Amino acid sequence: MLKTSIAPDGKEYPLPTAEENEKERLILEQITKEQRALGRKIVAVQGLGFVGCVMATVVADAEDSNGKPVYYVHGHQRASARSYWKVPMINTGVPPVSSSDEEVPQIFHRCVVEKKNFRATSEDFVYTLVDVVVVDIQLDATKPAFGEAEKGYCDLSAFREGIRTLGSHIRPDCLVLVETTVPPGTCEKVVKPILEEEFIKRGIDIVKNPPLVAHSYERVMPGEHYVASIRDFWRVFSGVNEKSIELCREFLTNVLNVEQYPLTQLDHTNASELSKVMENSYRATNIALTLEWAKFAEQIGVDLFKVRDAIRKRKGTHDNLLRPSLGVGGYCLTKDPVLANWAMGALFGLEGSLDVAIRSVNINDTMPLHTIELIKKVYPELRNLKVAVLGVSYLENLGDTRHSPSKTLVEFLRKDFALVKTHDPYVEAWPELEESVVEREYDAVLPEADVVVFAVGHDQYRKLKPEFVVSSTGKKPLIVDCSNLLNDDTIAAYKALGCKVKGVGKGHI
């Protein structure tokens, strides 16, 4: 078993020993005692991933009318080889995530170094000390067959384990606020029963002290407005009982900008949970629709993006029309319809399925194959074709590779024996495709490339001059635009240099 945790930058952090854990418990007790003496409530954030770590800083940054912190925040991350490195990194005031949002490093430094009211730990004992736990455990959908999301399911075992840890530690008056996107029915049918079971084991009367469980989903967008998408955005919430609702409303009101973005309370947690997965299923379906029209536009010589701009001028009904691209990635649109579809049978015992939503996931999951079709129009034989893929994150201007469509693109190109190199200015490591080295310099991927794929619309790629790209390859490469990155003038410049250009939805080229 690994005794160290390796950060994306390659730095190794030793996992804590039993003796170190014992010392850590004393530190946690002392910090909590000091913070309570200052009149602050204590919050733990369970899981310091892309949502949890920034949510923790937003909570720590919240101030009362006198400009004093309302809460002290303990961030908790398990001492695993995969992710423990986040704990020591955060405790230096450095965020464990990469983003184009300048506020991310600022808020981490402010809360950890200046205010000193946010600290990370790997010790479960921390849950005995807190008033609120915000649950941000990663919960994914498993899709066992590519392009067949209807076979997908949700493995709740790790999530259940995390909730059981809370049940065996928290005080009965501690609010458990589930922020993780979960299948509808999870708070009522999974979280609450587990907490009740653990409370009974500890001799807690669950009639007098029923578990306090609430659900409030985030709408985080880890790009240039990463922090604001948590703090300055609308929230939907509910709870399993009136006390849970009351405590959740108080907490969210203290932490978020509810004056400009009022809270929306739903009747119960089933409704709140369904709201999140339906919201993202709508967006997934919107995108899937545009791919069909992109293929149509390509065949009849139409620029779909100009058509889309024309449609979006109809405000209030059509201005939210999304766009096709290399594909759909990230932690929400790829899985949320699957979670909901699975919950119908697994948690509620219902027959039927969410056919439109699931069909949309299948279209989006297989969307990268369309880019390969575009390449094959120029190079029918991919064997030994040298391809430079620019961008491996799932969204522009951030370093999140979870469910990135670039992974599908690279894997299928390599199945046809293409020689693929990848580049991304935000990504230090690609854990989902560890065998692929992600370069940070253009001279490591562009020389001798037969094809240059603009897979992600990073701002840095928008600034690339066609003359630089062509001279760097030493050829006249095929240019493939997957993100509406190239305007007509740039396309014309590439063509003037002797390049062929293709683009998703760009039939006018």
Query: Which residues fall within 8 angstroms of residue 417, CB to CB, at 6 or more apart?
Result: 382, 383, 384
Q: Which of 330, 287, 345 is nearest to 152 (CA)?
A: 345
Query: 64-68 long-range contacts, Cβ below 8 Å, gap at least 24?
Result: 68/38
pLDDT in tens, 210-257: 999 999 998 988 778 999 999 999 999 999 999 999 999 999 999 999
SS3 69: strand
Per-residue pLDDT, averaged over 307-318, amounts to 95
Condensed to tens digits (0 to 9), the pLDDT of residues 343-391 reads: 999 999 999 999 999 999 999 999 999 999 999 999 999 999 999 999 9
Alpha carbon distances (Å) from 103 to 89, 91, 95, 118: 17, 17, 11, 16
Total-model pTM: 0.90
Q: Where are the domains of the chain?
A: 4-271, 293-327+367-503
Taking residue 3's Cβ as centre, other Cβ atoms within 10 Å add up to 9
- Let me know: does 135 contact 176? Beta carbons within 8 Å: yes
Q: What is the pLDDT of residue 333?
A: 86
Judge whether residue 452 has pLDDT over 60: yes
Beta bridge partners of 380: none
Superfamily of domain 4-271: NAD(P)-binding Rossmann-like Domain (3.40.50.720)
pLDDT computed for residue 397 by the predictor: 85
Best CA proximity match to 393, nearest among 362, 423, 360: 423
Confidence tier at 98 by pLDDT (50, 70, 90): confident
Residues 454, 455, 457, 461: is their CA dihedral positive or negative?
negative
Whether residue 95 contacts residue 9, with contact meaning beta carbons closer than 8 Å, is answered with no
Alpha-carbon span 141 to 183, nearest angstrom: 10
Q: Does 451 have pLDDT greater than 60?
A: yes
Q: Tell me how crowded residue 468 is: count the other CB atoms within 10 A of its CB.
A: 12
Cα(461)–Cα(285) distance, integer angstroms: 28
- Residue 92: pLDDT over 70: yes
Please give the share of the chain, as a percent, with pLDDT higher than 70: 100
**Of residues 86, 130, 127, 123, the one with CA closest to residue 108:** 86
Mean pLDDT along residues 396-424: 94
User: For all residues of the chain together, what is the average pLDDT?
Assistant: 95
**326-342 pLDDT tens trace:** 999 887 889 999 999 99
pLDDT of residue 367: 96
pLDDT in tens, 12-70: 999 999 999 999 999 999 999 999 999 999 999 999 998 999 999 999 999 999 999 99
- For the purposes of burial, counting CB atoms within 10 Å of the CB of 62, is it exposed (0-12), middle (13-18) or buried (19 or more)? buried
CATH fold of 293-327+367-503 reads: Rossmann fold (3.40.50)
Residue 297 clears pLDDT 70, i.e. is over it: yes
Model pLDDT, residue 97: 87
> CA-CA distances (angstroms) from residue 443 to 304, 425, 493?
33, 13, 21
In this predicted structure, what is the pLDDT of residue 34?
A: 97
Predicted pLDDT of residue 223: 78
pLDDT above 90 covers what percent of the chain?
Answer: 91
Mean pLDDT of the 113-140 span: 97
Confidence of residue 202 (pLDDT cuts 50, 70, 90): very high
Q: Where residue 2 falls among pLDDT bands split at 50, 70, 90?
A: low
